[in-house]
Amino acid sequence: MGKMYRGNVPKEEDGWVNVGTCYDIDNSIEWFVFSQAQKHSEDWQTYKIVVNGRAMNKANYWLVRNNNTGQIGFASDYAKMRSDRPHLHAKVESLLRLM
């Protein structure tokens, strides 16, 4: 059994915006999706996916995405989400396509 971790919700005053909510496979774990514009380009956004409460093994995922091209940067967390929480990954991916 893995260790439990608490989600670290980013602050609105730091430029973060809650852009959606997703649920893990059995709908028992709620995850918030936050976005923050990058300073160097309006096209690139930083996304943070944060568990509401506690989750096993990992509670925060980060990625960078170009909202015009769909290109993902800083993809190691996104790949980990895909391997460890494929249902959550699919829901986040669907949400990002709407951005």
Walk along the chain (99 residues) in steps of 10 and give the mean pLDDT of each run: 90 95 88 94 92 94 92 89 94 90
Phi first, then psi, for residue 92 (nearest 5°) are: -65, -40
- DSSP, collapsed to helix, strand or coil, labels residue 77 as helix
CA dist., res. 58 & res. 5, Å (int): 6
Closest-CA residue to 29 (of 64, 65, 57, 62): 57
What is the reported pTM? 0.91
